Amino acid sequence: MTTVFIISAPSGSGKSTLVNRVREIVPDLEFSVSYTTRKPRGQERNGVEYFFVSREEFEDMLRRDEFLEHADVFGNYYGTARRFFREAKERGNDLLLDIDVQGAAQIKRNLPEAVSIFILPPNREVLESRLRTRSLDTEDVIQTRLATATREIENYENYDYILVNDRLEESIVVLESILLAERLQRTKTKLTAEAEAMKVRAESCRLKNVRQRLQPILASFAPAAASGGR
């Protein structure tokens, strides 16, 4: 049985770094490279970070119903091709999707058994600092991303797990634990002490178990929404 893992986060939350690291350490896990109509940035390579296609090509794929999900983000299309899910099932592997909240909602409608994980920054100030440090965007784009983050974070309750990415190495261990703990639920084998510890780490990020910790994070984004940042 193939499990689909959905990972979403506001831009700048460290999602890509976490995803890349966990792909290196979790076996039998395939990654869906999204299609996009935006231009490559920096050292991005076609077929590695994204499949870069024209708007016409993307819309042609839409007409052929080739996407599990798609969204228009900051004026560019992004989408997950159905073939990645089909190929992962054929090989008996799990599939990891790095998609935004729009795409996650579509996947959950089509595959309600998918496991969803939302990655949060420690607070708005840290998120803004990360966006500025990477020096990829203009000031207007940074402000747009911050406003979008405020809206996206409002969707946190739609996710199964919430991971606060404040310390990278710890977050990698927790994300790995979530993926492997979900796999363990499909088996009836007796858990080792290590597996039990992993399950405890994963459960600590369940939505029902993390609500109290989220309150100051959510509050840090509230002033921006109240002042018209949305």
CA dihedral 115, 69, 45, 162 (to 10 degrees): -30
Q: What is the pLDDT of residue 227?
A: 39
Question: What are the strands, taking DSSP E only, across 84-206?
Answer: 94-98, 115-120, 161-164
How much is the mean pLDDT over the chain?
91
Cα 10 from Cα 197, distance rounded (Å): 29
Residues 114-119, mean pLDDT to the nearest whole number: 97
Number of helices (H), then strands (E), in the chain: 9, 9
First CA to last CA distance, the chain: 41
CATH topology of domain 4-32+93-226: Rossmann fold (3.40.50)
Going by pLDDT thresholds of 50, 70 and 90, the confidence category of residue 228 is very low
Q: What is the pLDDT of residue 226?
A: 39
Q: Measured at the alpha carbon of residue 11, what is the angle toward residues 164 and 220, in degrees to the nearest 5? A: 55
Could you state, in order of their start, the residue ranges of all structural domains in the chain?
Answer: 4-32+93-226
Question: Is 166's pLDDT higher than 90?
Answer: yes
72: left (phi over 0), alpha (psi -120 to 50) or beta: beta
Cα 209 from Cα 69, distance rounded (Å): 29
pLDDT tens digits, 8-67 = 999 889 998 999 999 999 999 999 999 999 999 888 999 988 999 999 999 999 999 999
Question: What are the strands, taking DSSP E only, across 44-185?
Answer: 51-52, 67-73, 76-81, 94-98, 115-120, 161-164
